[in-house]
């Protein structure tokens, strides 16, 4: 790529024209009029890499991506460039190309020579698949990788399924970050039995002494309402119902997803939004019986509160 240095005040020493160009591949600076080469190499004076792009991602143009716990070697290992070109930008010869390809193969094999590295590579490969299926943010992934690394240090993974342990670590990270993802969601995405994930989660919670916050049912309302395409007015009333129930301390020990579904159903009935209990139950992943039982409790609580007022 050739860059125009029209704003540069330096001129060509041969023809005196202010038309210097720079070749980014070779680093040469030459005159665009007469072709005289001013310098054969140029020094990069800008930053090592930009932290953002137009599409929102990072641009590791020179130094590579930042270190991350979701990579088995934390992104600190050396990588042979996949582009078959030398330092001056010229393509490699056929013999040198085969030699470099063989070096790449041995380099990739040497990075996973230990059993721990192979375990981490398999686990974080599963974690990346779950990220796309469950739409998880980067900070939750980092927390999940941190929990799994701690479990691997305590030798909790030995004799257990890697898929179940990484799924349990991700569920624990979602609970810690207050991201509304249920055990059923993680089980379906990981294609692992819910019983196995819950068993591994209890092991992580006990052995690593994890302190998990209580799931707020108000955060589950937006997830259910987006599936049912419920209006904003209905959502606001459902949030109000749950906030009043929280003030009366009536939500302790109950499923947050069932409470959110019940509050949404009560709001739909109140605001004349036509919907059935079955539709709400399917969107929330609970049963109709759960919604009916919670509906009776919340309705009775509202009536008692109105009498007191």
pLDDT digits (tens, 9 = 90+) for 230-246: 888 888 888 888 888 87
Q: What is the pTM of this model?
A: 0.64
Q: Within this chain, do residues 180 and 73 fall inside the same structural domain, yes or no?
A: yes
Same domain, yes or no, for 197 and 241?
no
CB 30 within 8 A of CB 2: no
pLDDT tens by residue, 19-41: 778 777 667 788 878 878 877 76
pLDDT at 55 > cutoff 50: no
- Predicted confidence at residue 54, as pLDDT, reads 45
- Alpha-carbon distance 203 to 45, whole Å? 52
- DSSP state at residue 95: H
* Domain containing residue 283: 219-308
73 with 206, same domain: the answer is yes
Residue 80 sits in the same domain as residue 205: yes
pLDDT(248) > 80: no
Note the helical H segments in the chain: 94-110, 115-134, 138-153, 162-176, 183-190, 194-207, 219-228, 232-247, 256-271, 277-284, 288-308
Judgement on whether residues 232 and 291 belong to the same structural domain of the protein: yes
Tally the domains of the chain: 3
């Amino acid at each position: 790529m050739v860059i125009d240095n029209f704003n540069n005040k330096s001129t060509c020493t041969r023809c005196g024209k202010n038309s210097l160009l720079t070749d980014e591949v070779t680093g040469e600076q030459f005159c665009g009029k007469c072709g005289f080469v001013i310098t054969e190499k140029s020094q990069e004076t800008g930053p090592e890499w930009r932290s953002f792009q137009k599409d929102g991602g990072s641009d590791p143009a020179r130094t590579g991506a930042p270190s991350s716990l979701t990579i088995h070697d934390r992104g600190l290992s050396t990588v042979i460039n996949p582009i078959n070109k030398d330092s001056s930008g010229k393509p490699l010869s056929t013999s040198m190309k085969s030699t470099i390809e063989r070096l790449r193969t041995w380099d990739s094999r040497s990075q996973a020579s230990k059993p721990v590295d192979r375990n981490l590579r398999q686990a974080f490969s599963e974690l990346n698949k779950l990220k796309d299926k469950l739409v998880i943010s980067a900070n939750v992934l980092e927390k999940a990788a941190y929990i799994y690394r701690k479990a691997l240090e305590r030798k909790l993974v030995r004799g257990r399924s890697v898929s179940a342990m990484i799924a349990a670590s991700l569920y624990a990270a979602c609970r810690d970050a207050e991201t509304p993802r249920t055990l059923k969601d993680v089980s379906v995405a990981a294609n692992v039995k819910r019983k196995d994930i819950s068993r591994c989660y209890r092991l992580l919670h006990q052995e690593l002494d994890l302190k998990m916050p209580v799931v707020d049912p108000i955060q589950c309302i937006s997830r259910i309402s987006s599936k049912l395409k419920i209006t904003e007015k209905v959502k606001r009333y459902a949030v109000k119902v749950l906030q009043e129930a929280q003030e009366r301390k009536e939500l302790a020990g109950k499923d947050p997803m069932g409470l959110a579904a019940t509050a949404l159903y009560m709001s739909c009935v109140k605001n004349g939004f036509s919907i059935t209990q079955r539709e709400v139950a399917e969107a929330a992943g609970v049963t109709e019986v759960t919604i009916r039982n919670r509906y009776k409790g919340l309705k009775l609580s509202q009536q008692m509160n109105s009498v007191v007022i």
